[in-house]
Structure 1
Amino acid sequence: MNLPNLLTLSRFGLIPIYVVFFATNHLKTAFLIVVLAGATDVLDGYLARTRGQITQVGVMLDPLADKCMMLTVIISLLVSGMIPWLVAVAMFVRDAGMIAGSAFFHFRGKMTVPANTLGKLTTVLYYFAFLFIFFDFSFAIPYLWFVVGVSFLASIIYIILFLGLNRTEDGETDS
């Protein structure tokens, strides 16, 4: 266990704290918890890379912590009526698909594609969408739809990179 992995684990601990603040209608504080989770994500990645502390546990838990927080926020915004159900379904399908797909291929011994610039940009765009929603900006939902589109584009690119990375010598995809 190292500091980057502890920071990743702390993001799991922030999820119920977020839920409590959101459920008690302390929306600005709930949003700050989401921002804190994002900051720990940036910090743990930076520390892992600069200190040479990248571990298999961290590689698996880091995106899982991010997706769990994201799904929690999506569900809370949906239940509260702050986002339309259709956008929530699109976000849920994309994130759940990424979790399931990553786990499935990881446990089958496939090489995984590390986070790329478009994936990181998508995360930043989602944080802005959450800011706009939590603070009730009039353009929040159209902007959220834009970000959902970008996230699906990022997923398509990820799948293409994954297939290329796991292609066998005879040109067939190793499955």
Structure 2
Amino acid sequence: MDEVNRTEVSSRVFTLPNCLSFVRLALVPVFLVLLISGDYVLALVTLVISSVTDFLDGVIARRFNQISRLGQLLDPAADRLFIFATLIGLAIQQIVPWWLVLAILGRDVVLLVLGVILANHRYGPLPVHHLGKVATFCLFYALPIIMIGQAFPAVGFVTDPIGWAFAIWGAFLYWWAGIIYLRETIRVVRIPLPNEPSASDTLGA
């Protein structure tokens, strides 16, 4: 933990890890077009390239001390966009139901609202809960596994149950983590700010 705290976070923009993250972001619309057109093999290749760049930018950032504030925003943003693109593409192809798309997008809308509430109370974003990380991990791997079954139907009887197990479990954990964030937001905003009178002070005035 101390080692992480001592790691310098720079404000540089054009670092190699950030450039790799920009490549990942640029691949999102390419991936979505391929997925919607039903070219699952090329879509999987694009996803593999994205995963490789994701791995490389993390290794390079840590190894050469190129961790930046922009990179800390770009990396999770690219992960989220790939999850959303995969969900929307598979839903358009009627491979996954739209309720799954709405469930996952709805949870992120809730977190966005919570972020606005925290900002209005002069608080920053809440720390990422481990359940949220596990949920993102499940979804990040569930959808490509489902895609494998579409690209290579011969293995679908193996990949489909695994992919759906990850997807349903990931969606459940996604909302479980969201409920934890909601409870924590309610707890935090009830804490009086240093220059703000408490409820007892107000009542006693």
The TM-score normalised by the length of structure 2 is: 0.65
Q: Which is greater in Rg? A: 2
How many aligned positions are there? 170
Q: Which residue is equivalent to 1:15?
A: 28
Sort the Cα spacing of 1:156 and 1:40 in 2 relative to 1 into closer, same or farther, 3 A: farther
User: 1:26-46, CA deviations, whole angstroms, 9 ceiling, x for partnerless residues?
Assistant: 213212322332332233233
Q: What secondary structure does 1:172 align onto?
A: coil
Distance of 1:56 and 1:109 partners within structure 2:
20
Report the CA distance between 1:158 and its aligned residue: 5.0
What's the offset of the Cα at 1:14? Answer: 0.7
- Ranges in structure 1 where 5+ consecutive residues have no aligned partner: none
Identity between Structure 1 and Structure 2 (%): 25
2:42 aligned partner, one-letter code: T
Q: Which residue of 2 aligns with 1:3?
A: 16
Does the 8 Å CA contact 1:64/1:99 hold for their aligned counterparts? no
Is 1:172 the counterpart of 2:172? The answer is no
Partners of 1:78 and 1:85 within 8 A in 2 = yes
Q: Measured at CA, do residues 19 and 45 of structure 1 come closer, stay the same or move farther in structure 2, by a change above 3 Å?
A: same
CA distance in 2: counterparts of 1:12 and 1:132, whole angstroms: 21
Output the CA distance in 1 between the equivalents of 2:43 and 2:110: 26
- Deviation of residue 17 (structure 1)? 1.7
Q: Which amino acid aligns with 2:176?
A: L
Distance 1:173 1:69 in 2: 39
Name the structure 2 match of 1:88: 101
Which residue pairs with 1:124 in the alignment? 137
Contact 1:74–1:92 (CA under 8 A) maintained in structure 2? no
Distance 1:143 1:46, change over 3 A: same
Moved more, 115-124 or 95-104: 95-104
Residue 104 of structure 1 and its aligned partner are, at CA, apart by 7.5
Describe the superposition over 1:145-174 as per-residue Cα deviations: whole angstroms up to 9, x where unpaired.
Answer: 11101222333445567778xx59xx8166
The reply on whether 1:68 has 2:81 as its aligned counterpart is yes
1:98/1:44 CA distance change after superposition, 3 Å: farther
CA contact (8 A) 1:67 1:99 kept: no
Moved more, 145-154 or 68-77: 145-154
User: After the TM superposition, which residues 45-56 of structure 1 pair with which residues of structure 2 at under 5 Å, given as runs?
Assistant: 45-56=58-69
SS in 2 for 1:83: coil
**Of residues 142, 146, 152 in structure 1, which corresponds to 2:169?**
146
